Amino acid sequence: MNLQLLSPYESDFPEVIRHTLDYGYATCAAFNRDGSLLACGCIDGRVVVWDFATRGVARDMLAHVSAVSVVAWNRRGDRLLSTSLDMSVKVWDVLSGTPEATVDLGSRVLDGSIHPRRPLFAASPHGARAVVVDYRCLVQRPLPQTKAEAQKFAAATAAATTDFAPTATTAADINMELLRNIAAAEAAAAREVDGSSSNGGAAGADGGDEAAKPTTATAGSGSGSSSYGATAFDSNGKRIFVGSSKGVLLVLGLSTATTTTTTGDTARYVKFALQHCVQVCNANIKKIKQSQDGRHIVVNSSDKYLRLYSSSTLQHTRNFVDQVNRFQWKACDFGSHSDYVVAGSAHKSNHKIYIWLADGNLVKILEHAKDGILDVVWHPLRPVMVSCTNSGVVHVWGTQMTENWSAFAPDFQELEANVEYVEKEDEFDVDDEATVVEKKKQKLEAEQNEIVDVVSIERVVQPRHVYHNSSNGDDGDNGDGGGGGGGGGGGGARRRHVPR
């Protein structure tokens, strides 16, 4: 996309519906990094990839057997994550349209995100602990929900990497074996925290281990059966944001660490380190979104508030709330230049999208027919927005286009209403009045100066005769009345018929 071709007179936030995408029953949507592709998850389990420039379907992938809850792109745009209510998560190779990895988390997956660079994704199963999965070897690692859990998980990771004795010989197999060992240690710590003696939090490659099952939280663990959390990687992949069902927001740093095994080999693994922890609210955190510039995050919780935080320090900036109706928010996002915050109302019969400036001022409320909102996504580069409705239709919102004729003709004057105009006498003539008068004057002078020739004699051309004399009377010999018609002789004048 050539940004220099965009109109400088265009508004910087959407106002009206410009297009409608109707192909299946869409429940969620996500743009790739440059906004050229739009992925939509459908209620029948399909994932549809749209070419956003031509509004054509580029891919139609049968992904799940139940509704798709989240779709997300990696940084390069060649991998697409889809989570579903059928308890599975899939990573797709977009170019070939085939799934690269499939993971069953044992519970409905309501939120998820994919790492922008590493082969990792995070998912939040319903009523269970959020996990990070390496989709190359299908190893699951549980995520902490409090500061104490983060410290306990860090101690378990340190113990698993100390004096590690691998049985594999190649570097790749040693790294995979170490990753499974760390996942098993973190799963044991999660079971201890949750007070459960079964259902570990990490999965082996074959899925047959007890540790292969996701950590299922009990009612007293902070992740009750009717709640879930939220996860999101930041734009550069160096941190992960984790929101719990009790309103706790954690920031975990991701880094590549190394350890020396007992055999003298060097093994690598991804290390999680707690950076920040803050109590956002006492309600469930449903969604976490980061701005395009990476400076802020917005947290959507069940207490009807959107909260804006600094992504580096987790300093609270301001709240966004519907002061009139006090509805919950179904979805939220940032503007393309991180200067706007947008949210869709969770009311089932109101299609209302609120747009605020980042400083908290309400700019616009977009309304449509009585149809609820399922998801709202802002284009990464342009003032264009996409909203998924309860009827399955995807609305593409854009700016209000105004005709600016003065850009083509600087002397053009735009009128607010019709004005009665009196045409001048020579306004639309080919020649103006002065030119017409001058031509008439020249013609008159030419006629007056003409010399009349009264001496020369013009030759007169004789007209063609229509009568002639027939002295011999030849014409009368061929007919009965020829001789008698002329008075008894051949000397009379006869009329000649001239053919017409």
* Interatomic CA distance for residues 299 and 307, integer angstroms: 5
Asked whether the predicted pLDDT for residue 58 surpasses 90, the reply is: yes
pLDDT value for 160: 92
pLDDT value for 208: 35
Q: Which amino acid is at 375?
A: D
At 169, the pLDDT band (50, 70, 90 cuts) reads confident
pLDDT value for 67: 95
Q: Are 345 and 352 in contact (CB under 8 A)?
A: yes
Q: What is the mean pLDDT of residues 291-312?
A: 93
pLDDT in tens, 3-34: 444 555 567 889 899 999 988 899 999 999 99
pLDDT value for 218: 32
Q: Are 145 and 223 in contact (CB under 8 A)?
A: yes
Q: Which amino acid is at 45?
A: G
At 469, the pLDDT band (50, 70, 90 cuts) reads low
User: Mean pLDDT of all residues in the chain?
Assistant: 82
Q: What is the mean pLDDT of residues 145-158?
A: 92
pLDDT value for 494: 52
Q: Return the structure tokens found at 23.
A: 């192909």
DSSP notation for 276-329: EEEE--SS-EEEEEE-TTSSEEEEEETTS-EEEEETTT--EEEEE--TTT-PPE
At 35, the pLDDT band (50, 70, 90 cuts) reads very high
At 45, the pLDDT band (50, 70, 90 cuts) reads very high
pLDDT in tens, 331-372: 999 998 889 999 999 888 888 999 999 888 999 999 987 788
* Interatomic CA distance for residues 57 and 59, integer angstroms: 6
**Residue 286: partners with Cβ closer than 8 Å, 6 or more residues away:** 111, 228, 230, 243, 300, 301, 302
pLDDT value for 349: 82
Q: Are 307 and 321 in contact (CB under 8 A)?
A: no
pLDDT value for 410: 75
Asked whether the predicted pLDDT for residue 458 surpasses 50, the reply is: yes
pLDDT value for 463: 66
Burial of residue 227 (number of CB atoms within 10 Å: 0-12, 13-18, 19+)? buried
- Starting from the edge strand earliest in sequence, which strands make up the sheet with 285-290, in order? 285-290, 296-301, 306-310, 316-320
Asked whether the predicted pLDDT for residue 435 surpasses 90, the reply is: no
Give the residue, 289 or 214, on which the prediction is more confident.
289
| Poorest-pLDDT segment among 208-222, 259-273, 345-359, 419-433 | 208-222
Asked whether the predicted pLDDT for residue 485 surpasses 50, the reply is: no
Phi, psi of 338 (to 5 degrees): 65, 20
Q: What percent of the chain has pLDDT over 90?
A: 54
pLDDT value for 492: 47
Tokens 């859990």 identify what position?
Answer: 149
Beta carbons within 10 angstroms of residue 136's beta carbon: 16
pLDDT value for 200: 40
pLDDT in tens, 92-128: 999 999 999 999 999 999 999 999 999 999 999 998 8
pLDDT value for 243: 93
pLDDT value for 10: 61
Closest Cα to residue 144, out of 247, 225, 216, 250? 250
pLDDT value for 197: 37
pLDDT in tens, 380-396: 999 999 999 998 899 99
Q: What torsion, rounded to 10 degrees, do the Cα atoms 101, 104, 105, 106 define?
A: 180
At 157, the pLDDT band (50, 70, 90 cuts) reads very high
pLDDT value for 348: 83
